[in-house]
Structure 1
Amino acid sequence: MSTRHFVFIEGSSRTDGNTAALARRAQQNLPAGATSEWINLADFPLPDFQDSRSPEDPPPIFPDGNEGALLAATLRATDLVIVSPLYWYSVSAPIKRYLDFWSNWLKIPGLKFRRAMTGRAFWAITVGSDADQAKADGLVASLRLGAEYMNMNWAGLLYGSGDYPGDIEKDLETVKCAEYFLTLSPNFATEQDPIPAA
């Protein structure tokens, strides 16, 4: 795929929250020529995840419905952007559930999901109530290790500070960072990159 396509996966418990607002700002400032789409997991509810690793379980099949739509969107991405508020120092429940389904996608005969995702960029955007970005270390570790397992490029985290609706607009440094965050090379836009924290 020569043209970069950013797929934003939002998992939030409220509409138009701070994290989504920050991610929308980043979406408006993509690299030249890039395309994007926005997936709100609230519009694609998934059932409880059932692990199929038991030898007695039949192999997973290509899913349809909401799961099939999410798999297709994931495969379209050259750049996958997780948009999740910081909940209990990690990703939100909808994002965790979405990622759990990757385990079954890895087992679908003929899909070769890990090979398909190899080399793609994996970004994260989050907002927490604390100005200390270290509070998101658990979220970063989970997503970065997942990216490594999938042979994806961990591209980094954009962290903002806010609690009540609209608070992110007061975090001027992070809002400014959102205007160039996704234009950085995935090889350099890591959590160690000198992007100003909130």
Structure 2
Amino acid sequence: MSKPHYLFLLASTREPGHEGNTEKLARRAAAQLPANTTQTWLRLADFELLPFVDLRHTAGTYPAPTGDMARLLDATLACTDLVLVTPTYWFSFPSNLKTYLDHWSAWMRVPGVDFKASMAAKTLHVVTTSGDRAKSQPMLDSARLCGDFLGMRFGGALWGKGGPPGAIDADVAALAQADSFFAA
């Protein structure tokens, strides 16, 4: 069994240097991971996310990604656990996370990269905040379905009350759940 390596993909679009409620909740959960667990934290806003171009029915394959897209692919392949740290925006993912997920379709078709089989050995987790848990459900369903498509284990969703900065501090139930979220 390989050493645990958690990749936390931060999808918030808050200004740099301003930790949002979702990130705060994720960091609380991550603090409970065993000391020997590797943690990689990547802020999608720091990457040049190229628009996804669907070549499946024309070229059939995709060239190996370069630049930031190659860094994201490498980080994704290197982890044992992928944690989508994403506030709920309009009942869904922020656009940067949706773009990252769209590129999974390309990465499945890069010669020499067995992306789908590699992802099947991983666990997908989601940490999110929103004003109302029910409003996050479409996004959570979408994340689970993306993982299911690749055969990933779904490690669950951690939801907390979002809103203005610091709102998560008042969500005692979410903070308590964070303390044991990765223990399952």
| Alignment correspondent of 1:22 | 25
C-alpha distance in structure 1 between counterparts of 2:60 and 2:135, whole Å? 40
| Alignment correspondent of 1:100 | 102
C-alpha distance in structure 1 between counterparts of 2:153 and 2:27, whole Å? 22
| Alignment correspondent of 2:145 | 145
Deviation by residue 1:86-111 (Cα, 9 ceiling, x = unmatched):
11111111111100010100000111
- What secondary structure does 1:49 align onto? coil
Gaps of 5+ in 2: none
* 1:78-93 equivalences in 2 (<5 Å): 78-93=80-95
C-alpha distance in structure 1 between counterparts of 2:173 and 2:165, whole Å? 18
| Alignment correspondent of 1:72 | 74
- What secondary structure does 1:75 align onto? helix
| Alignment correspondent of 1:172 | 172
| Alignment correspondent of 1:195 | none
C-alpha distance in structure 1 between counterparts of 2:60 and 2:146, whole Å? 25
Matched, 1:2 2:28: no
Provide the TM-score with structure 1 as the length reference: 0.87
Q: 1:43 aligns with which of 27, 46, 54?
A: 46
Paired residues, what number? 181
CA positional deviation for 1:65:
0.5
- What secondary structure does 1:45 align onto? coil
Deviation by residue 1:34-86 (Cα, 9 ceiling, x = unmatched):
2111010011121211111132x372122110000000000011000000001
Gaps of 5+ in 1: 185-198
CA positional deviation for 1:117:
1.0
C-alpha distance in structure 1 between counterparts of 2:32 and 2:94, whole Å? 25
The answer (yes or no) to whether the contact 1:31–1:182 under 8 Å persists in 2 is: no
- After TM superposition, the runs of 4+ consecutive aligned structure 1 residues lying more than 2 A away are none
